[in-house]
């Protein structure tokens, strides 16, 4: 049991790291920045701009490598993506601001 948790934790960390590299870092020799620029506004570019979307696609091959059965793969795929998203939200230093307006006096 503990060995399976090890692979889940390792998978979540790998998915977060790769997704963060592709989504938010310039990378070595600005290679990731150039990749995002090359991807432009197409579907690949939109996927690279969205950490949540990107983590789902990065989790796919990771879950495939770790899973021992089809059922485990089906459960690991969203679990690894979800774990990476939670980790990303915990570590995000610039969280989105609240999307509401306060009532102003006299309104």
Give the 3-state secondary structure of 16-76. HHHHHHHHHCCCHHHHHHHHHHHHCCCHHHHHHHCHHHHHHHHHHHHHHHHCCCHHHHHHH
Question: Per-residue pLDDT tens for 37-86?
Answer: 888 888 888 888 899 999 999 999 999 999 999 999 999 999 999 999 99
- Asked if 28 and 45 count as a contact pair (C-beta separation under 8 A), the reply is no
- Asked if 15 and 55 count as a contact pair (C-beta separation under 8 A), the reply is yes
Angle between helices 31-39 and 2-24 (to 10 degrees): 70
Tell me, what's the pLDDT at 79?
96
Task: Report residue 92 as tokens.
Answer: 């995000």
Count, residues in the chain: 107
Q: What is the pTM of this model?
A: 0.80
Task: Report residue 7 as tokens.
Answer: 């692979």
Question: Per-residue pLDDT tens for 67-79?
Answer: 999 999 999 999 9
């Amino acid at each position: 049991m503990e060995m399976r948790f090890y692979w889940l934790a390792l998978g979540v960390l790998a998915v977060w790291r790769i997704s963060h590299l592709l989504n938010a870092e310039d990378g070595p020799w600005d290679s990731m920045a150039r990749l995002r620029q090359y991807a432009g506004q197409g579907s690949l570019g939109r996927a690279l701009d969205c950490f949540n979307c990107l983590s789902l696609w990065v989790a796919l091959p990771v879950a495939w490598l770790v899973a021992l059965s089809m059922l485990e793969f089906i459960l690991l795929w969203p679990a690894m993506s979800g774990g990476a998203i939670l980790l990303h939200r915990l570590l995000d230093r610039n969280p989105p601001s609240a999307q509401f307006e306060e009532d102003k006096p006299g309104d």
